[in-house]
Structure 1
Amino acid sequence: MELSYDHYCFGCGEHNPHGLKLKFTYDGTNIKTTFVPGEVHQGYPGIMHGGITSTILDEVMSRCINVLGYIAVTARLEVRFRESIPLHTPVTFEAWIVNRKRNLVDTEARALLSDGKVVAEAQGRFVIIQEQSSPTGHPQQT
């Protein structure tokens, strides 16, 4: 199955009116994005929904594979929630590659508040399905 990016990804798609519209940076080692949750991202009152947190962790980890020049799908995602994420507070998500073996890439990620407190951590395994043939919103080098 050949995939080409259509800009409707829920996490990063510029054309998805309901998406998160995440933007990424790459410092040579880690992929990063910052997100400020609002009421539409709420679980319990005043707290970011865990599913949105998981989505962003998955998205930032998948970008690690994009930097290698591949498109991959999530095979496994494990999230550990350490503390609640308050609404209207910037959260930095960062990810990096831990291991690569053939078409499998293992990654790790974390979500941090502005004071450096880790509020969530994740481990992911991704399966490379193809080389990139068109731009997919690569992270900007910083």
Structure 2
Amino acid sequence: MTISLTDDGMCFCCGQNNPIGLKLAFAWEGDDYVTYFTPGAVHQSYAGITHGGIVSTVLDEVMGRIMSSRGIPAVTARMEVRFRHAVPTGERVRFAARIVRERGKVIDASATAVLADGRIAAEATGRFLVHAAPASSEETAM
């Protein structure tokens, strides 16, 4: 199976064509690559609390997107999340990522989810593998 990293606008986090997607936007703020997300009731687990899988998904996305912003095609190989505080629904959360280390085709990143009051709700570390696109049929024929 060949993996293609083509963006067709349907990404759950950032795809503008996905009718149930989060439609996140990303930007640099100093050394941080960030997105802001206000989870709603449709993103909850217990009443008023955002599902941890949604928080993890946005942490993964902001780490992956930092590489895309630099033109590096990479995929998540491993991720670890530590939850510190519940993320309430209806509250704007700042998700920020940084690249920690680059070694050949392996890139390590970290990310945080910060509540409006400044508390870190969750933090993640991730290992990403740079994806080399397979040679096209024209390149292979040469």
Same fold, judged at TM 0.5 (above): yes
Give aligned pairs, total.
Answer: 131
SS at match of 2:125: strand
Aligned to 2:9: 7
Alignment correspondent of 2:47: 45
Aligned with 1:121: secondary structure? strand
Aligned to 2:137: none
1 or 2 for the larger relative contact order (CA 8 Å, sep ≥6)? 1
Give the 5 Å matches for 1:22-101. 22-101=24-103
Whether the 8 Å contact between 1:32 and 1:93 is mirrored in structure 2 is: yes
Q: Is the aligned partner of 1:106 residue 2:108?
A: yes
**2:140: which partner in 1?**
none
For 2:131, the equivalent position in structure 1 comes to 129
Moved over 4 A (4+): none
Aligned twin of 1:134: none
Name the structure 2 match of 1:135: none
How far, CA to CA, are the matches of 1:75 and 1:100 in structure 2? Answer: 14
| Structure holding more strand per residue | 1
Q: CA RMSD in A?
A: 1.2
State the structure with more CA Rg.
Answer: 2
Q: What fraction of aligned residue pairs are identical, expressed as a percent?
A: 50
Residue-by-residue CA offset, 1:61-82 (whole Å, 9 max, x unaligned): 0011112211111000100000
CA distance in 2, matches of 1:82, 1:17: 31
Secondary structure class of the residue paired with 1:87: coil
1:114 CA displacement: 1.3
What stretches of structure 1 of length at least 5 have no aligned partner? 132-142
What does residue 118 of structure 2 align with? Answer: 116
d(CA) in 1 for partners of 2:31, 2:21: 26
| Residues 55-109 of structure 1: per-residue CA shift (max 9 Å, x gap) | 0000000011112211111000100000101110000000000000001100000
TM-score w.r.t. the length of structure 2 is 0.88
Residue 3 of structure 1, CA deviation: 2.7
* SS class of match (1:52): helix
Q: Which runs of 5+ in 2 are unaligned?
A: 134-142
